[in-house]
Structure 1
Amino acid sequence: MQKKWLIGGGLAAVLVVGAGVAFVSGAIPARGGAGPDGNAEKAPPPLTFTAREVVRPQSAPMPGRVAFSGPLVAPGTATLRARAAGTLTTLAVAEGDRVRAGQAVGRIDLADVSSRVAEREANVAAARATLAQAQRTHAQNERLAGQQFISGAALDGSRAALETARAQLDAAQASAAATRVALRDATLLAPIDGIVAKRQVLPGEKVTPDQPVLTIVDLRRLELAGSVGTHEVARLSAGMPVQVQVEGVDSPVSGRIARIAPAAEPGTRAIGVTIELPNADERLRAGQYAAATAVLPDDRDRLSVPATAVSQSAGQDQVWLIDGGKLARRAVRLGRLDEATGRVEVLDGVTVDSVVVAARFDGLSEGRLASVSAEQAAAVASTSASAPARLQ
């Protein structure tokens, strides 16, 4: 029995060793090699792009753009203030009402001023009577001095009294005039043409000198107060036309650069730029948010491709070309970006004859067979571009 077990074990060992030798020598096919029929693994199928998925670089000027935003403000804004202390008796306008310059819009009760006006007028009358008496006295003294009935000192005294009476009359008249001005301040007059934006006081409230009563806004001219970086301000100048897109308004509004701040703001390194917007129809309102774009003309042609055609690999910008019926990866160096048209300048890496894949696709590989479908290109010639289909 022991001999039979040894013989059986030896035969099993021989079979295992034989199987290993057969595998190494190719009797059993390895994974990824030739199949049972002896054919090699199939290559990936060729890619077919539509005319919408490829593009040739364009050579044309690329105008630069400087954009900035901010709220609209009304430089023609005036605050009507009380010029005397008293009780506001009437205020005939409300928010949204239109007023004209010089229009009476309210009145302050100045009863104490009225009493002071009467007092000052009485003082003027008294001073005028005193002056008349001094004039008569001095005239009589001049006659007496001519007849040598009085001394020269007496004549000088009457002359001094006359001058004093004149000065007292002038002072009384000035005081009365000042009081009458204060009485005129009881009537509140609109300082400018415009629309009442806010009422700070209600009838019946007491006001003090220089207290705000109304805010009036002239909407016929508005300004956009924005800011740009120090690296962009040199490209702008006063008088340059801009397009302004105002929130809530469908079409852009034309404006111009009115002024540029002479220095950057500390901390932000931004420089203020003010845009002037005509608003004769008062369609726009102060406080609306707006975005302005200044278009800078370009003096030369630039080779550009859609920004969607550019991708990155290991920090290097690249595009995919169809070159000789195969996909080819090309490293490119980029220049100016035009966000309005979605195109980017390519300084080197492609030519006007290059066929560039216009969108980013997953699964592209160097050397893969690729072509543009003539049938599909003809079918889409009269249709607008749409998003490219994903590769299979």
Structure 2
Amino acid sequence: MAAIRLTNSRRKLWIMGAVAAAVLAAGAGVTVLASKGDEGKKPEEKKAETVLEFVPTEVVAPKRVSMPGLIEFSGPLVAPGTVIVRAKSAGSLLNLSVAEGSRVKAGQVLGQIDLEELRYRIAERSAALESARAQLDQTERHYKASQGLAAQNFIAATALDSSRAAMEAARAQMLAARAQLDTSQVSLRQAALIAPISGIVAKRHALPGEKLAPEQQILSIVDLSRLELAGLVGTHEVGRLKPGMVVQVRVEGVEAPVEARIARIAPAAEPGTRSIGVTLELSNREESLRAGQYALARVQLPDETQRLSLPETALSSSGGQEQVWMIENGALVRRIVTTGRRDVREGRVEILQGLNEQAQVLGARFDNLRDGAKATVVQAKSKPAKLASAADQAGASKHKSN
């Protein structure tokens, strides 16, 4: 009995060993076959490559549209009809009959200055003129008498010449005295505080009782019926502007745009810049606008050419160059493009070089795109296209292994 059990035990061990050897042989064979099947493949071919999927709304095609030009510049409104009333003579400011914000008319009396000193000067110069006139009369009588004596040879010719010279000098002195009197009288007329234009008193620079010096500022008067807006336009764009062109102006605090016209264009660029001054004129008959308000001018330039364009969102910048991402032959391609005009209102950019009308361009900016990556356009998808992360790829590998 003992011998039989020993024989059976050895038989079982032999059978189990044979089975194990067979399993190992089969596994080795599978491994060898797998190794032979992978021979000749590149490493990147062994790894499953992710295919990026985009929906049709994420892909755009360049299209031809007209792109009206837009030139913008801004600045404060200025009232060119602004005058400053100054004191034409020294004196004390007795009173001012107008306040800031008061409306005045041309020729209206604005105040009064004590001009006693000027009146005394006029009286003095009037007396000097009378003295010079009397001196001239005397020299003229002497000259006539000298002429009679010279005709009778009672005096020498040189004496007659001296008499004539004295008469001419007296006449010159009289003319000088008259000119000085006229100057003082003009100063007296101008010294009166009279409004030179119709408008609104913007500011009072002096107060009653203050001692004024000649040419000292007293009042500022502004005519708001006409305003101007001055701005700078690049030299590459100013050639498209002409005097008389209609311009839409947005003024702060005013909802509707205001129409203006180009009044003048500077003949030369500003020193140190590549910009030329452009001045607009705004009619403000109702005086609804005020000087100093900030305004933005927009000049619309029509375009008769159909230009190849893309949405602004399709372009990005890299290394100082503008680029787009496009799908070509089932792969992503980064393409450098040359751009032209920009339509800010429509959000489109002109493409001068780099694309044709059949190109499939990504209409939005995506992160981590790689040139040459597989890509396709599908009809529908649940979320925007993006590069699969390392975690997503690891999860997919684990799912396949299960």
Whether the 8 Å contact between 1:329 and 1:366 is mirrored in structure 2 is no
Q: Is the 8 A contact 1:82 1:212 kept in 2?
A: yes
Say if 1:102 and 1:26 are closer, same or farther in 2 by CA, change over 3 A: farther
Partner of 1:241: 246
SS in 2 for 1:114: helix
Change (3 A) 1:122 1:292: same
Compared CA separation, residues 328 and 209, structure 1 to 2 (3 A): same
User: 2:380, 2:317 → 1: CA distance?
Assistant: 24
How far has the Cα of 1:286 moved from its partner? 1.9
Aligned to 1:309: 314
Q: What amino acid is the match of 1:341?
A: E
Instruction: Please tell me the residue identity of whatever aligns with 2:378.
Output: A
CA contact (8 A) 2:87 2:218 kept: yes
Q: Which has the higher helix share?
A: 2
1:336-364 per-position Cα deviation (integer Å, ceiling 9, x unaligned): 3212221012345242x666543224466
Quickly say closer, same or farther: Cα 1:99–1:24, change in 2 above 3 A. farther
Alignment RMSD: 4.6
User: Matches of residues 32-43 of structure 1 in structure 2 within 5 Å?
Assistant: none
Please give the per-residue CA displacement for 1:242-262, whole angstroms capped at 9, x wherever unaligned.
Answer: 222222322322222222222
- Work out which of the residue numbers 369, 374, 379 in structure 2 matches 1:371: 379
Please list, as runs of the form range in 1=range in 2, the aligned pairs for 1:107-146 lying within 5 A after superposition. 107-118=112-123
Query: Structure 1's 47 and 297: CA in aligned 2 closer, same or farther, altered over 3 A?
Result: closer
Q: How does 1:1-392 map to 2 (within 5 A)?
A: 26=31, 47-49=54-56, 53=58, 55-118=60-123, 176-311=181-316, 315=321, 317-320=323-326, 329=333, 331=335, 333-336=337-340, 337-347=342-352, 348-351=354-357, 356-362=361-367, 366-371=374-379, 390-391=384-385
Letter in 2 for 1:371: Q
Shift in CA distance, 277/128, structure 1 to aligned 2, threshold 3 Å:
same
CA contact (8 A) 1:264 1:272 kept: yes
SS in 2 for 1:254: strand
CA shift for structure 1 position 170: 7.2
Q: Distance in 2 between matches of 1:110 and 1:24?
A: 126
Q: Distance in 2 between matches of 1:318 and 1:201?
A: 65
1:148 is aligned to none
Moved more, 286-295 or 336-345: 286-295
8 Å Cα contact 2:66/2:306 also seen in 1: yes
Q: TM-score, normalised by structure 1?
A: 0.67
Compared CA separation, residues 171 and 335, structure 1 to 2 (3 A): closer
Measured in 2, the distance between the counterparts of 1:169 and 1:265 equals 53
- The Cα shift of 1:193 comes to 1.6
The aligned amino acid for 1:287 is: G
How many Å separate the matches in 2 of 1:160 and 1:338? 83
1:36 maps to which residue? none
Letter aligned with residue 215 of structure 1: S
TM-score (norm 2): 0.66
SS of 2:375 mapped into structure 1: coil
Deviation at 1:111, TM superposition (A): 1.6
Q: Give the Cα–Cα distance (whole angstroms) in 1 for the partners of residues 105 and 250 of structure 2.
A: 31
Contact 2:92 / 2:211 at 8 angstroms: preserved in 1?
yes
Per-residue CA deviation, residues 89-135 of structure 1 (Å, 9 max, x unaligned), is: 11122222222121111111012233344555667788899999999
1:45–1:206 Cα change, 3 Å: closer
Quote the Cα distance in structure 2 between the aligned partners of 1:368 and 1:163: 109
Q: Distance in 2 between matches of 1:126 and 1:162?
A: 14
Q: For 1:77, what is the secondary structure of its paired residue?
A: strand
Alpha-carbon distance, 1:210 to partner: 1.2
Segments of 5+ residues of structure 2 without an aligned counterpart are 1-19, 39-46, 146-153, 387-402
CA contact (8 A) 2:51 2:375 kept: no
Output the amino acid matched with 2:315. V
SS in 2 for 1:261: strand
Q: Is the 8 A contact 1:362 1:391 kept in 2?
A: no
Question: Which letter maps to 1:91?
Answer: L
CA 1:199 to 1:22, structure 2 compared with 1: closer, same or farther past 3 Å?
farther
Conservation of the 8 A alpha-carbon contact between 1:319 and 1:329? yes
Residue 4 of structure 1 aligns with which residue?
none
| Structure 2: distance between partners of 1:233 and 1:350 | 31
SS at match of 1:302: strand
Secondary structure of the structure 2 residue equivalent to 1:185: helix
Structure 1 counterpart of 2:73, one-letter code = F
Alpha-carbon distance between aligned partners in 2 of 1:312 and 1:177, rounded to the nearest angstrom: 75
Superimposed CA distance per residue, residues 23-75 of structure 1 (whole angstroms, 9 cap, x where no aligned partner): 99649x99xx9xxxxxx97966854455xx55554322111222222222221
Q: Distance in 1 between matches of 2:203 and 2:246?
A: 33
Verify the 8 A CA contact 1:196 1:216 in the aligned structure 2.
yes
SS in 2 for 1:108: strand
* Residues 52 and 385, structure 2, Cα contact 8 Å, conserved in 1: no
Q: 1:247, 1:345 → 2: CA distance?
A: 31
User: How many Å separate the matches in 1 of 2:30 and 2:325?
Assistant: 46
